[in-house]
Each structure stands twice: as C-alpha cells, then as structure tokens.
Amino acid sequence: MRLVILDNYDLASEWAAKYICNRIIQFKPGQDRYFTLGLPTGSTPLGCYKKLIEYHKNGHLSFKYVKTFNMDEYVGLPRNHPESYHSYMWNNFFKHIDIDPNNAHILDGNAADLQAECDAFEKKIKEAGGIDLFVGGIGPDGHIAFNEPGSSLVSRTRLKTLAMDTILANAKYFDGDLSKVPTMALTVGVGTVMDAREVMILITGAHKAFALYKAIEEGVNHMWTVSAFQQHPRTIFVCDEDATLELRVKTVKYFKGLMHVHNKLVDPLFSMKNGN
C-alpha cells in the first residue's frame, strides 16, 4: 500500500490524472488490447477528470482503446436527469474525450430487473478481462462506491439502500431537498473493486480525515469499507494535506519519506516532466 500526500486538492488531482495517463500509455492499448478503467463520481474526481481532458486535448492521451466501468448509479432517477451518474460522466468527462460510447459502461438504475442488471455488469467486467486500474473516492464515513458501513467486504455488484449520512451528503446536489435524493442505488461491491489489478483511491479535504485514519492506521473493518484495501496488493491512496489531519505524525513522515524514493522511480509527475 502507498499513501501519496500532496499539498492541496489541485496537486492531488494532477498527480492522480498523470498516474492514470501513464498507466494507459505504458499499457500500449490497441484494437485487440483494451485498457480497462474503473471510475468514480462525486466532487473529488472532478479535478482529475479536468486534467485528463486537458491531456487528451493536448494530444498526450487517447481513450480510443479504453473501456470504462463506473462504480454506481442511483435507482429510479431518469438517465437524463442532471444528477444521474450517466449525466455526470458524460457532462464532466466522456463527451470531452474520444472514448467509444459502447465502451463506457454505467449501471442502469431503471432496469426492469435490477439484479439481472448487476449480474450482467459483473459479466461485462469479466469479459473485458477484468479491471486494470480502479479509481475510487470515499465518503466521510469511509464508504467506497455505495458500499455503506456494514457492507460485506467480499460483496459483488448489487442493489443497496443508502445510509442517512450519504443521503444528507448528497442533498446538496438536489437543492438541499432530502425528499428528492434517491434512497437506493446500484453499486459495484467491495469484492468487485478488490478484483482489480490496481486500485487508486482519492481522499481530499479535512472532512475525510477521520476516514483516511480508519483506512490507513486501524484494522480492516466492514464499518469502514475503504479499510479493505489494506489487503489489496496494489493500492494507492492519493490525498491532500487536509486529509491527513487525523493521522499520526510518524505515519505522515513515513509515507512522505517514501515519496522521495518513488519520485525518482515511478512518480508520474517526475516521469512526465522528463518526457518519459
């Protein structure tokens, strides 16, 4: 496990975007070899998406041979609703890049058979050869995707009832009206994300600091589902300084010390500055 600590949100977003960019380029995707990327929604990844769009428009990155699988989608919200995750992904990312719409997979929260939709999503991931890099964010209560506290750490894609904390957090997207916030969602499971060959989790802001502490410094606990990724062989937590406020000083110093080594070896900022 790696913890990458940047000074602020913008630098954390840039680091994450350059890491994704490097991974895709190094993979050398082609017609018979697609790179498969798992993607989140919410406010945290917006800066990362803006940077990826910038790299694409500058000619540094193509998504022509990339397949994406999104983490979740609300149940019962029309696909064209401005707050659906379909709308979010197309408005904030997909329509600005060269991805084939057929390769951008998002769960259908209006499917006639929701369990069949979840099973089909798992099948599509398997048929794509699994996910090379799953990017995620977390809630203040440490949930990843909509795997709320108490979720099974080996769960698969399924229907979930949203916790009140999540509904309250999402109310800002629905004019602060709790009655408009969906109470159920389709979500990939913790086990689904754990199956990815690599996982990168973005955690920014002081309001996520306790969740980062639980993810890094305490044990694996289904009440903090992000903690499961301690057991993944290739997990990177990317955070800003504000998110480290609950960590022990020696923990921060330890991981910052490792960054000096990684900067010379695999840090995407270092490699791209040097044109590698």
Catalytic machinery residues = 72, 141, 143, 148
d(CA 259, CA 78): 44
**Residue 2 CA from chain centroid, whole number:** 16
- Quick one: CA dihedral 192, 194, 197, 198, positive or negative? positive
Tokens 């910052």 map to which residue? Answer: 256
Question: Rounded to 5 degrees, what are φ and ψ at 85?
Answer: -75, -20
Cα–Cα dist 200/192, whole Å: 14
Please spell the DSSP secondary structure of 44-104, one letter per residue: TTHHHHHHHHHHHHTTS---TTEEEEESEEESSS-TTSTTSHHHHHHHHTGGGS---GGGE
Taking CB atoms within 8 Å and a gap of at least 24, the contacts of 253-257 are 255/2, 255/3, 255/4, 255/5, 256/5
